[in-house]
């Protein structure tokens, strides 16, 4: 987003929250002053900030939701309460529902969390669920957060169930631009949408870097790369589920521009957010297809390596078989004369050949003949 956010011209608050605005009375020169108080320690973990704004400027920081609601009862039409809650208790949300007339179904969703991104209109109140994401460099993982928004004509209630997004930065940005914040709860919706979508950029960059690393590991033959491809594919799918519904949310908001007389500047800002969302969705879809192709290539390379290993194993087995045949052939050749020599090496008295004059040369010739015959046979069979 450009610096145009801080140069927004002053204009009456629009009715994105579905409510028709009454003519705004002239703001008194001096608003009633109430001291800004610090939240009690036991509420710090739930109520992050509680502010009352008039004409886009903070005029009070009540220490309870009930006290902030009393500021709206004083009759000033340009006032707005912005409550920021972090993992509130069901009872706390129940109290807010009674004070601000929040829809029961939306409150149940905010308590249970784990909702899909959506945009719903309950009479005069908008209920928006957004999925934030941030990339954790140390673990090379994507962490997802859930954010619920209740928006009315004079209030904005944000309920976070995770560390991200950091809405304190969004609040500071709006407070530094009172002209924008003076547009009411629709300005808060725009700023939060913009922050969530801007937070997707580091995630896209981190996923792109992970995919580049995986491509290197695939061709390097890392045995753990298949698991990493699967895990990264799951992260990309989860990211796609978080970002893709924003298209529908922004389309629904855009469709109500004319009906609810949304300010022209806010229209252009929301269109800019929609362009960024479209770009993110296209990139994420590209990542999904790229990972699918990488997985296919990895499976092909693994199969090739397995075939190569099998081929080498087969060749080794064949070579070993040839060596065994040679050893067996020579063992058989040497066994024949050994057998003859062993027979005539027996010390028996009644062996006719021992007293035969030609016994010795015949035995030698027999051993030589058997060896030659075996050699010829094995040679013809290519065993030698």
Alpha-carbon gap, residue 25 to 151, rounded angstroms: 22
* Mean pLDDT of all residues in 309-320: 88
Alpha-carbon gap, residue 59 to 66, rounded angstroms: 16
Q: How many CA atoms lie within 13 A of 260 on its CB side?
A: 21
Q: What is the tens place of the pLDDT at every residue in 243-286?
A: 999 999 988 888 776 666 667 788 888 889 999 999 999 999 99
Q: What is the tens place of the pLDDT at every residue in 359-375?
A: 778 888 888 888 888 88
In this structure, whether the domain defined by 35-196 belongs to CATH 3.30.590.10 is answered with: no
Q: Please report which helix (H) or strand (E) contains residue 380, including its range.
A: helix 359-380
DSSP annotation of 102 reads: -
CB 147 within 8 A of CB 196: yes
Residue 209: partners with Cβ closer than 8 Å, 6 or more residues away: none
Provide the β-strand partners of residue 82. 51, 156
Strands (E), the chain: 47-54, 57-60, 79-86, 118-122, 125-136, 141-151, 155-160
Kindly report the number of other CB atoms within 10 A of residue 187's CB atom.
Answer: 26
The alpha-carbon radius of gyration of the chain (Å, integer) is 42
Q: Smallest Cα–Cα separation from 13: which of 4, 22, 5, 2?
A: 22
Whole-model pTM: value is: 0.70
Q: How many CA atoms lie within 13 A of 43 on its CB side?
A: 16
Q: Nearest 5°: CA angle at 327, between 326 and 330?
A: 85
Alpha-carbon gap, residue 104 to 101, rounded angstroms: 9
Q: Smallest Cα–Cα separation from 24: which of 154, 113, 174, 118?
A: 154
Delimit the domains of the chain by residue range. Answer: 35-196, 321-380
347-381 burial: b if 16+ Cβ within 10 Å, else e = eeeeeeeeeeeeeeeebeeebeebbeebbeebeee
CB 48 within 8 A of CB 168: yes
Indicate the pLDDT class of residue 222, thresholds 50, 70 and 90. confident
Q: How many CA atoms lie within 13 A of 28 on its CB side?
A: 9
Instruction: List, as one string, the DSSP characters of 40-53.
Output: PGGGTTTEEEEEEE
Mean pLDDT across the chain, nearest whole number?
A: 82
**Res 348: pLDDT:** 66
**Res 255: pLDDT:** 77
Alpha-carbon gap, residue 109 to 181, rounded angstroms: 27
Q: What percent of the chain has pLDDT over 90?
A: 39
Helices then strands, counting H and E runs in the chain, come out as 11, 7
3-state secondary structure of 28: coil
**Res 343: pLDDT:** 76
Q: Smallest Cα–Cα separation from 48: which of 33, 63, 58?
A: 63
Indicate the pLDDT class of residue 342, thresholds 50, 70 and 90. confident
pLDDT at 109 over 80: yes
Alpha-carbon gap, residue 245 to 270, rounded angstroms: 15
pLDDT at 44 over 60: no
**Res 273: pLDDT:** 92
DSSP annotation of 87 reads: S
**Alpha-carbon distance values, 275 to 3, 117, 124, 189 (Å):** 17, 18, 28, 16
Kindly report the number of other CB atoms within 10 A of residue 180's CB atom.
Answer: 26
């Amino acid at each position: 987003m450009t610096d145009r956010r801080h140069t927004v011209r002053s204009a009456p608050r629009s009715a994105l929250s579905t409510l028709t605005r009454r003519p705004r009375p002239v703001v008194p020169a001096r608003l009633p002053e109430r001291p800004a108080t610090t939240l009690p320690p036991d509420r710090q973990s739930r109520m992050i900030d509680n502010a009352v704004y008039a004409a886009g400027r903070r005029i009070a920081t009540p220490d309870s939701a009930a006290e902030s609601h009393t500021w709206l009862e004083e009759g000033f039409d340009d006032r707005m309460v912005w409550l920021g809650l972090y993992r509130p208790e069901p009872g706390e949300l129940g109290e807010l529902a009674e004070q601000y007339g929040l829809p029961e179904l939306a409150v149940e969703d905010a308590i249970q969390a784990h909702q899909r991104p959506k945009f719903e209109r309950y009479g005069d109140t908008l209920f928006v669920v957004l999925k934030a994401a941030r990339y954790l460099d140390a673990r090379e993982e994507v962490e997802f957060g859930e954010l619920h928004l209740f928006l009315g004509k004079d209030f904005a209630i944000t309920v976070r169930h995770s560390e991200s997004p950091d809405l304190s930065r969004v609040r500071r940005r709006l407070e530094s631009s009172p002209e924008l914040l003076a547009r009411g709860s629709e300005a808060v919706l725009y700023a939060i949408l913009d922050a969530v979508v801007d937070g997707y950029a580091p995630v896209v960059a981190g996923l792109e870097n992970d995919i580049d690393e995986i491509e290197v590991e695939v061709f390097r033959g890392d045995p753990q790369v298949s698991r990493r491809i699967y895990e990264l594919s799951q992260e990309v799918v989860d990211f796609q589920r978080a970002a893709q519904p924003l298209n529908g949310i922004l389309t629904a908001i855009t469709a109500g521009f004319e009906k609810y007389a949304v300010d022209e500047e806010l229209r252009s800002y929301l269109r800019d957010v929609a362009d960024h969302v479209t770009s993110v969705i296209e990139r994420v879809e590209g990542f999904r297809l790229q990972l699918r192709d990488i997985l296919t290539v990895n499976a092909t390379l693994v199969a090739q390596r397995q075939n190569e290993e099998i081929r080498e194993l087969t060749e080794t087995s064949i070579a070993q078989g040839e060596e065994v045949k040679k050893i067996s052939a020579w063992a058989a050749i040497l066994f024949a004369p050994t057998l003859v020599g062993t027979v005539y090496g027996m010390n028996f008295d009644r062996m006719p050949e021992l007293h035969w004059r030609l016994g010795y040369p015949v035995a030698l010739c027999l051993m030589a003949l058997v060896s030659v015959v075996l050699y010829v046979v094995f040679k013809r069979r290519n065993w030698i």
